[in-house]
Structure 1
Amino acid sequence: MTHVSLLYHEGREGDHSESETESLEQQVVGFLGSKGISVDRSDIEACHTLPTRTKGATPVIIIRFTNRKNQISILKQGRKLKGTEVYINEHLTRRNGHSAKFGSYSLMNLESNTIMDIQLVQSNEVGGSYHMEKEGLKRCLDHLEANRFKADYIVTDRHPQIQKYLRERNITQFYDVWHFEKGLSKKLEKASHKEDILKKWLQSIKNHAYWCATSSTTGPEKVAKWTSLLNHLENVYDHEDPLFPKCLHPERASRDPNKWLQPGSVALHKAEKLLLNKRVLKDVAKLSHHHQTSSLESFHSLILRFAPKNVFFPFMGMLCRLYLASMHHNENASRVQATTSAGQAVYKVVYPKAKMGEGVVKPVKTDPTFNYVHDLMRLLMEVFEDPTSFDEEMKTPHPSRPFGRKYTHSEG
C-alpha cells in the first residue's frame, strides 16, 4: 500500500468511528480541492489521524491510497500548499521501508575508508523517490570528474537503474557480496521450509559466495567456483569446468551420509534452480573481489545519530547533518584497535540482528575524537570577524571539493 502524511487537522486525534472517518475524508478532499489539488474519495482506501504525545499538538493525518499512481500525483502537487500551514509528505512506516522525502548518496573511497562526496536529493526534484538513488550517484560522479578524479571501478548493490547508468558511463561495476548473499538467502530459506536437508547447507552456501568472490580475480573463475557448489552438495569434488576442475579442500570420509543431496531429489532440484539461475550466474561474475561496502553500511548507521529517521529536518538542516556525519567519519576512519594496560588487544561479542542471534567477535576501537568541532568553531569565529571574505562560499551551499584532505589528482 501507499501512504501519505498530511499535517492538518482541527478535530481530535485517535480512533474514529465510521461516520467520523467519512467526515475526515470529506474534510481532506474538500480542503485539497480548495487548493487546486484534485482527489477522488474512491482513490482513498483509509484515512485517520495519529495520536499525539503532546496535548494540544496538531496531529498528522495518514492517507492510504489504493495505488501508488494516485499517491505520486498528490505528492507532485504538494507545492500548491505553499504559503499555508499544511504540509504533505510520504509517510515513513516499516511497510513502506524508508522515507522518500530525501535521499542521500554517499561515495566512499574503500581503500582509505573515507567519504569523498555525499549528495542529498529531494524526491520532487526527480519525479519520485525511485529515481533519487540514480540522481545521487550521477551528482557524485559529476562532482568528482569536475575535480579531476576518475573512478577505476565502483562497488554497489544490484539496483537495475544503477547498473544501466554505469554501463552508459563506461564505469566498471562490481556487486557487494553481502547484498547478493542476502537476496539469495531469502529465496533459499523459502525453498528450504519443506526441505530440512537444504536448510542445513544455508550457512555453507553463504560462506561459499564470499569465498568465490575473494579467492578469484576474474568473472569466469568466480562462476566456475560457484557452479562447483552443486557438485559439492552431492559429495562430488571433481568438476567439468577447467577453470576449477577440483575442490581445494582435502577429501574426508563423511560421518553422516544423509547430509548430502541425492541425485533427482526435490531438494537438489530446488538448489539447482536457485544457484544456477542465469541472473545469479551473471551476478556472481560481477561480485567484488577488491572491497565490500560494509564500511559504507557503518557510515549509514552513523548518519542516524546525526539525523534520526523519526525526526523531520528541512533540506538545509538535513544537508548540514550529513556533512557533520561525514566529517566525524573521516576523522575517525583510521582508529586503531584498543589495548589493555598489558598491551593485549580488546575484543567484544555482539549479536547483530542480521545474524539471527548468533554472536560475532569484533575488535574494540579506540575512543573517537571530535577535532572537527574545534575546526568548525574556529571557522565560525572567522566568519563573524570578517564575513565579507566568505561571500562566495555563502552563496554556494554545496562543497567545492570532496571531503577527504589528501587525494591524488589525475592528470587531464
Structure 2
Amino acid sequence: MESLYRTYRPLTFESVVGQQHIVSTLRHAVTEGRLSHAYLFCGPRGTGKTTMARILAKALLCEHAEAARAEGASGCMPDGSCPECEAIAEGTHPDVYELDAASRTGVDNVREEIISSVSFAPVRGAYKVYIIDEVHMLTTAAFNALLKTLEEPPSHVVFVLCTTDPQKIPETILSRCQRFDFHRISNEDIVGRLRYICGQEGFEADDEALEIVARHARGGMRDALSTLEQLSVFGDGRVRVADARALLGEVSSTVLGEFARAIAARDVVALFGMVRRQVDEGNDLMEFTRDLVAHVRDVYTARVAGTQGELFDGTPDEVAALADEAAAFEGADRLARVLTVLDDAAIEMRTAADARLVLEIACTRLARPESDLTLEALAERLDRIEAQLAAGVPSAPLDAAGVAALTGAGRVAGRGA
C-alpha cells in the first residue's frame, strides 16, 4: 500500500493546494510560450516544490501541450493521464532528469548527469527538464560548473532548482533564475484537503482532530498527510481527537489559557503545578512550550491589535478568551518578554538534559522578575513600580537596617567595632 502523501500527490495544476499565485504564473508562461530557462522554487519543506516542478515538466511534455498552446488554453494542460504525464509521475521519462543534490553534491555529479547530456536533443518531447532538489547542498565547485550551463543553456532545456535554504545559493546562480517563493499552506486549506482524503479513504474523522493535525503540520501538506495516515492506522480507520492529542502532544486551548493567566498573575505555585501535570500525563514539554509560545503570540496580538478582523483562526469564544487573557497582563511589553523567555526555553530544551527544569526556570523568571538579572527583567520591575506610583500605592518606608544596607553605614560601623 502506497503512502497517502504519494497517493494524493497533485498531478495537475488544478489539484495543487495553497500555491495559486505560482500556479497562475506558470500556466500563463506555458500557454504564452514565455518560459524562463531556469526557475528557483524555494520555501518550507512539504509545501509542494518538487511536485510543482514535475507538474511544470508535464505541462511542457504533455501530449496535448502543443495543441493547448496553439489554442491558448491552459486549463487542460497537463491532463495528467497521457503516457508522457504518467512516465513523469513514475520518474521514468527520458527527458526529465531528477538530481538529489543532498546525496550527490560534487562537481563530478553535475558534470556526469547535467553538463555532459544537456546539449543532446530531447528523446520524446520538445524539452528536456532538469529538476535539482535541495540545490543549496551543492559544493562551490559544483555551482561553478553549473553556472556556465545556466548562462547559455540550449533552447530546449529548462532547469528547476528546488531548495528550502535559498540564502545558501550563490548570487551568480540566483540572478539567472526566476524565483518563486512557496508559502506555508493555511490550516484551512490543509483541513479541507484532509477532509477530502478521509472521504476518499473511508476514514471517520473528527473535525477537531483534523484541525490539530493541520496546526501540527505548520504549513506542510506532506507532514499533515503522514500524520493523518499514522492516526488512521492507530485508530483502525478512525481519526479521533484524543488520539491526535496523545500522538502529537497537542494541548487544549483551555490548558494554555490557564497557563497564560497564571503567568499574568505571577502565580509560581500554579505554574509549577501545571508543569507537573504535563509531565505526569506524559506530554512532550518542548512541544507544550511551542504550543504555549503560539498561544501567547495570539494573546500579544489581541493586546496590541485588538480582536477585530481576521487575525485569529479560532472560534468567537476562543477569540474572546484571548482578549480576556490579554487584559490580565499589565501591557504589551510584558507579553513581549514572556514570548522571548518562552522561545529561548524552547530552543534550550533541544539540548537540555532536563526539559522540565528549563521550563520551571523560565516560569520563575516570568513570575518573579526580581530573581532575574537581565535588563528586560529590570525594565519590568521598573514598570511595576511606576504602575504602583501612578495608582497611588504608597511604598513601605525603609527601617534603619534598610537605610544602613543602602548607604553602607552598617558595614563601616561593623569594621569600626
Q: What interval of TM-score do these two structures reach, taking the shorter chain for normalisation?
A: under 0.3
Q: TM-score, normalised by structure 2?
A: 0.26
Q: TM-score, normalised by structure 1?
A: 0.26
Counting strand residues as a fraction of each chain, which structure ranks higher?
1
Larger radius of gyration: 2
Counting helix residues as a fraction of each chain, which structure ranks higher?
2
